[in-house]
A and B are shown apart, each in its own frame.
Chain A
Amino acid sequence: EAGVAQSPRYKIIEKRQSVAFWCNPISGHATLYWYQQILGQGPKLLIQFQNNGVVDDSQLPKDRFSAERLKGVDSTLKIQPAKLEDSAVYLCASSPGTRGLDTQYFGPGTRLTVL
């Protein structure tokens, strides 16, 4: 079974530029998550999708971050414009069900550096 795919793996941009990350979850998984992980910290949930709909985006900085899940499968996360404090690893995860206690399977992450 293929795992969660993410691209790019690394990205370096200057502040105020835009950047987009892509995620392809495990086939058939209903729920998709985007996390931000700053060095030395645990992951912080940015947004959770259940099929096409948003379940939780309470910690997403909506003035600069946006996300969409296309046809309930792939997802993109965009930052526009980026700030220095956005430097982090962006993790995508998926889980098969919708009940909230399912195991989450993570991709390798995208390491973003904002200069």
Chain B
Amino acid sequence: EDQVTQSPEALRLQEGESSSLNCSYTVSGLRGLFWYRQDPGKGPEFLFTLYSAGEEKEKERLKATLTKKESFLHITAPKPEDSATYLCAVRMDSNYQLIWGAGTKLIIKP
């Protein structure tokens, strides 16, 4: 069964404490993996698209990486404004749909 699993479910960090969020997937024929950020009461906001193993993308304090089985979202020296739920989603060769993970709720304490 095609599946996307994110871990941990929730992560509390102190401001400046770097860490990583994980998105593992079991799908056949990955076409692309997407990372989104969702703030409370808002829709998801696009961060990155990764297409092939070994690819990396960066934006401010965030860096996304992709292997054949999983993706990591590394956050370096986070600030309280980085607090949000981070969602990943994958698109397969065989389907128009995105398969979404349940998200990781990230809380950065000042």
CB distance from A47 to the nearest CB of B (A): 11
Interface of A is mostly: loop
- For chain A, the count of residues having a C-beta within 8 Å of the partner chain is 21
Q: Is A112 an interface residue (CB 8 A)?
A: no
Residues of A within 8 A of B45 (CB): 106
Residues of A within 8 A of B100 (CB): 42-44
Q: Is A12 an interface residue (CB 8 A)?
A: no
A-B contact count (CB 8 A): 52
Give bound CA distance, A55 to B97, whole Å.
Answer: 10
Q: Which of A65-73, A76-84, A97-105 contacts B (4 or more CB under 8 A)?
A: A97-105
Which residues of A line the B interface, CB within 8 A?
4, 40-45, 48, 55-56, 91, 93, 100-101, 103-109
Residue of A nearest to B43 (CB): A106
- For chain B, the count of residues having a C-beta within 8 Å of the partner chain is 22
Contact B103 A108 (CB under 8 A): no
Give bound CA distance, A16 to B102, whole Å.
Answer: 29
Contact A55 B96 (CB under 8 A): yes
Residues of B within 8 A of A91 (CB): 43-44
CB distance from B40 to the nearest CB of A (A): 11
Contact A100 B102 (CB under 8 A): no
**A4, A44, A100, A108: the one within 8 Å of B96 (CB):** A100
Contact B31 A100 (CB under 8 A): yes
Contact A101 B32 (CB under 8 A): yes
Residues of A within 8 A of B103 (CB): 41-42
20 contacts between A and B (CB under 8 A): A4-B43, A40-B102, A42-B87, A42-B89, A42-B100, A43-B87, A44-B100, A56-B97, A91-B43, A93-B43, A100-B96, A101-B32, A101-B91, A104-B44, A104-B46, A104-B98, A106-B44, A106-B45, A108-B42, A109-B41
